[in-house]
Structure 1
Amino acid sequence: MRQRIFNVLGFLGIIIIAFIAFKVMTTKKPKTPDVKAFSTTKYATAIKAEYADHTPILEAYGRLRSMNSIEVFSEVGGKMTLASSRFKVGNSFPKGSVMLEIESDEAEINLFSLRSEFLNLLTGIMADIKSDYPNEYGKWSGYLERYELKKNIDELPQYSSSKEKYFLASRKVFQSFYNVKNAELRMQKHILRAPFDGIVTESMVEAGSLVRIGQKLGKLSGTGQFELELTFTSDNAKLLIDGSTVEISSPDNDMKWQGKIARIARNIDPGTQSVKVFVYLTGQGLKEGMYLKANTQGIKIAESIEIPRAALINNRFVYVSYEGKLAKIEVEVIQIGDDIVYIKGVNPDTVIITEPLANAEIGMSIEPLFNNGEKGDQ
């Protein structure tokens, strides 16, 4: 009996031991964290952070346009004369020269008719002026003597009293006078003169064609004064100085000019977050529509660090070498140029990596290389 009990207990003990062994073998063990070991050292060019005052060179590109540019419209109707044949794209006109001419025979006849009516009116009232306003007769007699049908009408003599004014008004002297003035003004509109030295950039009429009142005839662009429209980021625009000198050149630097900042827009484009800047310039070889490069000095940036553009990461960070390990720190960006960036927020003598790093990982071994041949974080 006792032997049977021992056998049963032994059997149960074997089962318990087997169960415990099974649980131990099937239970998952916790993973050991992966610790990446950097077995190699990466070499990279670097500089030491040095604070100084810097004057940035700001660069931008823009399209040139004439400061004097007008669209030419007809204010009268009629047939274009042969004198209009020179109004072609590319032809230039000095200030005051005739660009276009519209036949004016009908307008001229109407003008002479109105002048004749005014002459008859003045002649008819001279007797009344002599009897009722003897002191004023001399000035009106002299005006009548000077009056000519083929010349523009002179201004009326100044009336000396309200009584004289009412007399002239009742005889429709003022009305007739201004009818003549209006006809003379319309007569002048048959000849279109260049308001400035310019070149035709658009022509929409031919000699002999009929034009309507309000019809567009072309476009004239000035050849003396130009404006270059530039676009700067809002941060760079803060560094510009109104009235400062701007060096202008063609994209290939083949031609150069000098200009001045004429005005800086006060608003920021909501879409591009940029600011428009306008530069005034003159010179030989300038033509409307040219695409030009502009460089100008900005205001001095006090106590800043100059680094290559390639050293800035995501416009906020730079890589640094700290005790031989790669680290990344956030900086305060003052100005971003095409090649140079000015920053603050870095301790003096901090080793800043100045070249892009492929497969860079924080904590990796880094060996800075300086221009003077030094190595390491010394």
Structure 2
Amino acid sequence: MLRKVILSVLGVALIIGAFFFANYLIDNKNKPKPVVPKVVKTVLVDTVQNSLIPIVISANGNLTAKQRVELYSEVQGVFKTGSKLFKPGQKFNKGETLIRLDASEYYASVQSAKSNLYNSIAAIMPDLRLDFPNVYPKWQNYLNGFDLNKSTPQLPELSDEKENYFITGRGIVSTYYNVKNLEQRLSKYRISAPFTGILTEALVTEGTLVRSGQKLGEFINPSVYEMEVAVSKSFADVLKEGEKVSLTNLEKTKTYNGTVSRVNGSIDATTQTITVYVEVKHPDLKEGMYLEANLNAEKVENAIEIDRNLLLDSEEIYVVRDSLLDVISVKPAHFSDEKVVLKDVPNGTIILRKPVPGAYAGMQVKAAEINSSTVDSIQ
């Protein structure tokens, strides 16, 4: 009997509990859902004021010396020690000897040829005195001024046909030009600096046997550099020689002033670009430095400049009308790395100053006040 009483009590308790739980669920179902407040984003805007926008072309490149000489040997000989070491970084003034090769053997052959020329002229002097007394004095003066230790002087001018036949027939003229040819080759045993500069490469050292045609090194003028940049062909008609160019280093910490020195007359068929050469001078510059050049190409009238990330792929931009976002079509005139120049944007149009995440046409926004109303303040 006790067991039946316990089971009856538990059954009644469960029925009462179920009744109260059902009422609780019914009461909660009828409660109103909480209203989520609508968030209105605050956006930075600007008012369009069209103006004259200069187009600046950015291009990168490496500096190369405007004056550069690759040194080659035209003769063979042993590299002799000079007053300065032939090492990279060594400075030489204009006219100083860069390289001197041992030419003692060849010098002896040149002196022998000069002596033969002197003897040939001396041998005809008696005949000149008898047959050509009027030209004898000039040839005598030539012999008197002949110095084996100096460059061979030019032969006296032949005054008439008979003198020409006589001198040529004795082989004087051919001997003279043979001597001059040997002297010219002798001068190639010494290479002098064509301008004041510095060695950037040295491939031989003192005591090395240098062979004909061997490259010896490179010599540059470190005071003037050029940078070669490729520019779109659309600017070929506006880029002119003498245009001022601003150049900056990679760190954007230094600025240099350059000038367009040359513009290539042909367009690269592969890249459809034109090559422009910018000349720049500064003591801090070194060959091989990487710089960025900003070239003033042209100016666009009635245009504005905004960040590229504000331009949609459909060539549209967002505008604010009655606290709602809308889009308008625009006409891009020029693209740079970070900016875009636009035309056909009416004055007074309120545009976004910064991109809005998740923006769409019809989105409700709140325009933030800014101090400047000109497009030049867009950042």
Q: TM-score range by the shorter chain?
A: 0.7 to 0.9
Q: Compute the displacement of 1:188 (Å).
A: 0.8
| 1:266–1:360 distance in 2 versus 1, CA, 3 Å | farther
Q: Aligned partners of 2:358, 2:252: CA distance in 1, in Å?
A: 38
Partner of 2:12: none
Distance 1:257 1:348, change over 3 A: closer
Task: Name structure 1 gaps, 5 residues minimum.
Answer: 1-38
Quote how far apart the aligned CAs of 1:93 are.
1.0
1:222 aligns with 2:221: yes
One-letter code aligned to 1:175: S
Using structure 1 for the length normalisation, give the TM-score.
0.79
Partner SS for 1:61? strand
Cα deviation, residue 90, structure 1: 1.2
Match of 1:18 in 2: none
Matched-pair contact (CA < 8 Å) for 1:198–1:220 = yes
Change (3 A) 1:171 1:358: same
Output aligned runs, 1:185-264, within 5 Å.
185-235=184-234, 240-264=239-263
Take 1:241 and 1:333, find their aligned partners in 2: how far apart are those partners?
24
CA separation in 2, counterparts of 1:365 and 1:331? 22
What letter matches 1:51 in structure 2? N
Q: How does 1:106-145 map to 2 (within 5 A)?
A: 106-145=105-144
**Equivalent residue runs for 1:342-353 within 5 Å:** 342-353=341-352
Contact 1:310/1:354 (CA < 8 Å) preserved in 2? no
Shift of 1:104: 0.2
Alpha-carbon distance in structure 2 between the residues aligned to 1:83 and 1:274: 47
Q: Distance in 2 between matches of 1:101 and 1:290?
A: 32
Residue 80 of structure 1 and its aligned partner are, at CA, apart by 0.9
Judging changes above 3 Å, is the alpha-carbon distance between structure 1 residues 241 and 339 closer, same or farther for their aligned structure 2 residues? farther
The match for 1:81 is 80
What are the within-5 Å matches in structure 2 for residues 43-82 of structure 1? 43-82=42-81
1:79 Cα deviation from its structure 2 partner: 0.9
Name the aligned partner's letter for residue 154 of structure 1.
P
Q: Helix, strand or coil: the match of 2:186?
A: helix
SS in 1 for 2:134: helix
Secondary structure of the structure 2 residue equivalent to 1:83: coil
SS at match of 1:177: helix
**Which residue in the other structure is 1:281 paired with?**
280
- 1: CA distance between counterparts of 2:238 and 2:326? 31
- CA pair 211-149 structure 1, distance change in 2 beyond 3 A: same
Deviation at 1:243?
A: 0.9
Tell me the alpha carbon deviations over residues 326-375 of structure 1, each in whole angstroms, 9 at most, x when there is no partner: 4444432222234432221223333333333433334444544452499x
Letter in 2 for 1:288: E
Q: How far is the alpha carbon of 1:85 from its aligned partner?
A: 6.8
Find runs of 4+ consecutive structure 1 residues off by over 6 angstroms: none
Q: 2:154 aligned with 1:155, yes or no?
A: yes
Contact 2:44 2:369 in 1 (8 A): yes
Per-residue deviation at 1:283? 2.6
Superposed CA offset, 1:47-89 (max 9, x none)? 2332212334444332111111111100100111122871111
The percent of aligned pairs where both chains have the same amino acid is 33
Question: Shift of residue 160 of structure 1?
Answer: 1.2
**1:93 equivalent in structure 2:** 92
Give unpaired runs (5+ residues) of structure 2: 1-37, 374-379
Tell me the number of residue pairs that the alignment of Structure 1 and Structure 2 aligns: 336
Q: For the residues of structure 2 that align with 1:314 and 1:234, how far apart are their CA atoms?
A: 24
